[in-house]
A and B are shown apart, each in its own frame.
Chain A
């Protein structure tokens, strides 16, 4: 192993992050050299944390340099742990406390209109992600992380899953393509991740491998909450196999499509009209719905053009998609607005919910609206529509009272 381990980021523009360099020595004890932008307020707590981690790994003689630009403890800890593990072999994990808010799981049909991508090695972007109220955040270990930063990103993501409050957003992680992705799972599954995004998925075997590994890791950790899988279809073969992939495991909660790679695989240009991917998107929606799960559209990459985004979302909704990816927090609101139910949809949903209430009150087993019988899934969908409308402030909390007047 190396005698020098480094991790983190430094240079102009780096904020809420730090760079650490650890030199293991043969004698002389521990020397910590700290250059911190927030040293006046946190120098002792940073030193204490560093010392605690070195003690944990039984490092007795070393020089540890920390160039800190306002990193919070869980980031400092991830950086220092990475540097230590570059110097010595250890499977032990230095874990800070897990906050209560993050010890919760989600439903399989959880609302997934927006999911905000956050590069796994950029803690600054993660800090405030939750305030924008995306339905989900994706801590990304795949494309947004440079190959030589994969190991340290895993620890930042692990620590964030434990310690960062995302204010109710579902916590997703995009792992690397298999087989590396299976290793990624070890750093996230025991830490209450809600959903795993499986990139470049083409076969049911890939889903099954992830499923088995999740089951094994949960069992080892003594946990039994649900952890879902969202395969991302990004190739022609993936599109052909979409239904098999969607139904390969009980854990699969949604299918997503990744159009950049898909169009490249076809040898076509990605256009704004999207005719080249029309078949794939329809196929994906159809496969997902046939398997009884959600269909999620690709990201829209022009973060400055909100009008174009709105059009794209409205089109996705009309095709049957349930959500879209976002790469910028400002996209969230537009996506939620575009996915919000229309007036006609709300009116219809109100009628169904009221009819259901009436049937329940009268003890009727069958719900009917006019001369039409209504199935329970339809009632559930209507209730969902109402919930979204309530949340978006489109109808008042007491809509039932005003409706019956």
Chain B
């Protein structure tokens, strides 16, 4: 039976249902206001827990059994160890050994280290993934091999979906660098210290069953308790939960590419010239070599001007920590620790604050602090001439990246995408992007090595740069320049099958991803 599609507010055709569940097409920024209620998991009673507080069981498989794992359940994990996670693969290996079928994996993000999950998608243990699908998993899904449809959400959108009950987590498995047998846990200490456990907050609050897995079991109390044991059902001790070195990836070092450094410097100059870099301002520069370089250039400008930033949003890393310690920044509000310097700083410095997707990004809350940030620097795989941007698929249609906090950050006062005009002959500025992840009305400036385009909605920025020596161009001029060098790309023909939905921060669907034809 042919599915029914409706056109959403950014002109994309959205099916009525994803994974058999009805969905709401994107209606515009701030347009969809829900009157629903927060989800409530079943009540627990202390009568059912050991009086001495010891919730330890012998291994992960036992914990999953005790938690009542059965076919079709939703199992969640988290990406605090990024590409060094060792637990997710073990969960599904155990599930596969138990002969379970049709599970839904609900990670806060996946990485190339999760390639073995493909085996469990193939053998039927997992039905589909709701979460980012990076690299090999994305390729597998793009080729149409996953039975269900993927659902990609931003970090804030993940919190929202759990809070609103769009996703009911049957079992959450939280890998914690340190925990006690009551289930209190943190990411600050232990061999596998990763900083914070913010992505697991929603899961601890709303999942029916919560398992904490640690390789550093300490006597009660585990201080600080970033995850509260009162939410936790079982505790498991294992040899190793993650490979600390791999929480550091290539994207957490400043780029050495002269072309990217050039873009970074140009971005910082732009911010300075339009008056963003002033005393008491705030910024967020994400992971990625170019973003990090921009943070560094911000530092240089601040030093020269003798000013300070009130706060920086992290992804924290060595560079941001250095700025905090130099007192160029009053506070780091950290959502994710990218290196061991960040972990150390968060442990030692009260001005390095651990945050969660609830405080920073959740759209169904009484505000969040994404909008308080003066400027954010984000990446994109493509941008169209209406400033709509794509961050999940490549121009050939392959789904290769997650959304991360990207959509949530679009609510900052100024959103800048510093991107090369082309990558290996693929022009970045297109008539239409392959997948819309963020509406153009929220994206203000595109900085490329060959020119800067300002969204016509930002008349203030256009006025401030009217007599500037900066290479200000229209986005159409930038597109023409890219195509002049690369040639005009041929249209890419994609399959008809929807393989994933891209949710907006309010739970509506902004676009879908189609199967590729090889």
Chain B's closest residue to A37 (CB) is B424
Binary flags per residue of A53-72, CB closer than 8 Å to B gives 1, else 0: 00000000000000001111
A330 contacts partner chain B, Cβ-Cβ < 8 Å: yes
Give the docked Cα–Cα distance between A42 and B485 (Å): 13
User: Assuming A16-B424, A131-B449, is B492 touching A40 (CB within 8 A)?
Assistant: yes
Residues 321-345 (chain A) with a chain B CB within 8 angstroms: 328-330
Chain B's closest residue to A73 (CB) is B487
Binary flags per residue of A4-41, CB closer than 8 Å to B gives 1, else 0: 00000000000110000000000000000000011111
- Name the B residues within 8 Å of A45 (CB-CB): 487, 490
Give the docked Cα–Cα distance between A45 and B489 (Å): 9
Are B489 and A41 interface neighbours, CB within 8 A?
A: yes
- Name the A residues within 8 Å of B485 (CB-CB): 72, 127, 165
Q: Using a Cβ–Cβ cut-off of 8 Å, how many residues does chain B contribute to the interface with A? A: 20
Pick the contact of B490: A42, A72, A393 (CB < 8 A). Answer: A42
Pick the contact of B425: A44, A72, A393 (CB < 8 A). Answer: A72
- Name the A residues within 8 Å of B259 (CB-CB): 128, 131, 329
Chain A's closest residue to B450 (CB) is A131
A132 contacts partner chain B, Cβ-Cβ < 8 Å: yes
Give the docked Cα–Cα distance between A127 and B449 (Å): 11
Pick the contact of B258: A42, A44, A70, A328 (CB < 8 A). Answer: A328
Binary flags per residue of A108-130, CB closer than 8 Å to B gives 1, else 0: 00000000000000000001100
Are B424 and A15 interface neighbours, CB within 8 A?
A: yes
B262 contacts partner chain A, Cβ-Cβ < 8 Å: yes
B304 → A minimal CB distance (Å): 14
Give the docked Cα–Cα distance between A16 and B258 (Å): 16
A114 → B minimal CB distance (Å): 13
A275 contacts partner chain B, Cβ-Cβ < 8 Å: no
A388 → B minimal CB distance (Å): 15
Binary flags per residue of B453-492, CB closer than 8 Å to A gives 1, else 0: 0000000000000000100000000000000011101101
Which of A15, A71, A127 has the largest count of B CB atoms less than 10 A from its CB? A127
A20 → B minimal CB distance (Å): 16
Binary flags per residue of B361-382, CB closer than 8 Å to A gives 1, else 0: 0000000000000000000000
Give the docked Cα–Cα distance between A15 and B257 (Å): 14
Chain A's closest residue to B492 (CB) is A40
Are A43 and B261 interface neighbours, CB within 8 A?
A: no
Are B425 and A70 interface neighbours, CB within 8 A?
A: yes
- Name the B residues within 8 Å of A393 (CB-CB): 469
- Name the A residues within 8 Å of B423 (CB-CB): 70
Which of A44, A71, A128, A328 has the largest count of B CB atoms less than 10 A from its CB? A128
Are B449 and A72 interface neighbours, CB within 8 A?
A: no
B395 contacts partner chain A, Cβ-Cβ < 8 Å: yes
- Name the A residues within 8 Å of B395 (CB-CB): 40-41
Are A70 and B490 interface neighbours, CB within 8 A?
A: no
- Name the A residues within 8 Å of B492 (CB-CB): 40-41
Chain B's closest residue to A75 (CB) is B425
Chain B's closest residue to A391 (CB) is B469
A18 → B minimal CB distance (Å): 10
B419 contacts partner chain A, Cβ-Cβ < 8 Å: no
Chain B's closest residue to A133 (CB) is B262
Are A16 and B490 interface neighbours, CB within 8 A?
A: no
Give the docked Cα–Cα distance between A69 and B425 (Å): 9
A189 → B minimal CB distance (Å): 25
Are A72 and B258 interface neighbours, CB within 8 A?
A: no
Residues 287-315 (chain A) with a chain B CB within 8 angstroms: none
B264 contacts partner chain A, Cβ-Cβ < 8 Å: no
Are A41 and B424 interface neighbours, CB within 8 A?
A: no
Residues 420-450 (chain B) with a chain A CB within 8 angstroms: 423-426, 449-450
- Name the B residues within 8 Å of A73 (CB-CB): 487
B107 → A minimal CB distance (Å): 28
User: Assuming A40-B396, A40-B397, A329-B258, is B449 touching A70 (CB within 8 A)?
Assistant: no
- Name the B residues within 8 Å of A72 (CB-CB): 425, 485-487
B102 → A minimal CB distance (Å): 33
User: Assuming A40-B395, A40-B397, A72-B486, is B261 touching A16 (CB within 8 A)?
Assistant: no
Give the docked Cα–Cα distance between A45 and B490 (Å): 8
User: Assuming A72-B486, A131-B449, is B426 touching A41 (CB within 8 A)?
Assistant: yes
Residues 184-243 (chain A) with a chain B CB within 8 angstroms: none
Are B262 and A131 interface neighbours, CB within 8 A?
A: yes
Are B396 and A41 interface neighbours, CB within 8 A?
A: yes
Give the docked Cα–Cα distance between A13 and B223 (Å): 47
A11 → B minimal CB distance (Å): 15
Are A38 and B262 interface neighbours, CB within 8 A?
A: no
- Name the A residues within 8 Å of B425 (CB-CB): 16, 38, 41-42, 70-72
Please, could you name 11 A-B residue pairs with CB atoms under 8 Å apart, sorted by A? A38-B396, A40-B490, A41-B395, A41-B426, A42-B425, A43-B490, A44-B490, A72-B485, A128-B262, A132-B258, A329-B262
Additional A-B contacts beyond A42-B489, A69-B424, A72-B425 (5; CB < 8 A): A41-B490, A70-B423, A131-B449, A165-B485, A330-B261
Leading 9 A-B pairs by shortest Cβ distance: A70-B424, A40-B396, A41-B489, A329-B258, A70-B425, A131-B449, A128-B259, A38-B425, A40-B492
Residues of A within 8 A of B (CB): 15-16, 37-45, 69-73, 127-128, 131-132, 165, 328-330, 393
Residues of B within 8 A of A (CB): 258-259, 261-262, 395-397, 423-426, 449-450, 469, 485-487, 489-490, 492
